[in-house]
Structure 1
Amino acid sequence: MTRPPRDASASRVEVSRNDVWAAVAAERRALVDDLHPLAPQRWATPSLCEGWDVHDVIAHLVDSAHTTRWAFVRRMVLARGDFHRDNATGVRRWRAADPRVTLAALADAIDLTHTPPAPLASRLVEVYVHSEDVRRPLGLPRAYPTPPVLAALDHQVRTTVAFGGGREVAQGLTLTPSDTLVSMGSGPRVAGRAIDLLLAVSGRPVAPSAFSGPGAAELADRLAP
């Protein structure tokens, strides 16, 4: 059960373990279904994740689905603590010559519940942000369930950029998802859909028109390249 508080700056937005993995599986399955008819040339479409195309992102999601806590530790030793190097290695491992093979690997991984040594909410961040990384450039919209997206957003605003979060991006602002009564942080208000706020604090480009409120211009400045 999800119990979102009205003010997430005071208490966490909590989602049960079972709900987290159910949400992750649902998004993996939706990606498999929506990408199955994708024309071969469109797999090379640049994603929102800088330096990766659509095929790379799907390969990364397969790699992440297979990564256990102990495997992550071993991999980080091999990568000499470099997250980017480890991610690149994982993409190469699972990126097949034929993207349909990579997508089939994601289909096989839908119900896996492996995770690196990180808070469980990070699995929600992973699946929602990377889903949008490919959906937006491809024009494949999806309506996400609000509670797990809020849990992902809450995790990001509490986690530093150095550890994959967006605390510095959100610092000094009140984020108010328009699809809920929850607010997060303190300072000038920024209103917008929860998924757009999640992408913004995760370092993804989001159109300034997606946000409103006294803090919207400040957030847009922080997101500017």
Structure 2
Amino acid sequence: MKYYDIHTHRASGEAEVLEVINVIIKEPVEKNDAPYRSYGIHPWYIGNVEEQMEELRKAAFLPETVAIGEAGLDKLAETDFATQEDAFLRQIRLAEEVEKPLIIHCVKAWTELLRLKKEMKPIQPWIVHGFRGKPALAAQLIEQGIFLSLGSSFNPSSLQTAWPGYVLTETDEKTGSIRDVYQGFADTLSLPLETVARQLAENSRHIFCL
């Protein structure tokens, strides 16, 4: 059985786990030898946007880069919100240019996120990572074609709302195994683990072309 971890900051070393290692564009860009990666300018770490975008553009065209992000909006971050939105818009455009999905970090900025989705009309998939919101919000995002990536802490009703076609799995910065996340999904949905794994594999391969 294959397990898909579409957003993590640490390699598991497990042969059965296919993982996308997230690299945050800082100064300098961190070296990473993972076979699948995502690169992005996180709203917590926005500095010189021009320089960061130059680094991100280099990384975006690498064959091992399967997604842009995490990028996004965070109203609890110290970075000025207008600056965050500027960096996010640049990354949306880059994701469209390189034809790769966009992994999104969003905190208390759902109205702005949905507005930008409608305004930009992106072709590439958007994935909100680490989603722990309520089912009503999940339904709003799904209605706009946005996928949800859930980790070990998730709202069971939101999982049921997004299942089967709009769900992905991740560990983010957690030390637990992606296997535990899969089992949590299976228990919540009252489905065999193999059924859950097949659906998550289909979703992951469809979005990331893995």
TM-score by length of 1: 0.29
Higher-RCO chain (CA-CA 8 Å, sequence separation at least 6): 1
TM-score by length of 2: 0.31
| Higher helix residue share | 1
| Higher strand residue share | 2
Larger radius of gyration: 1
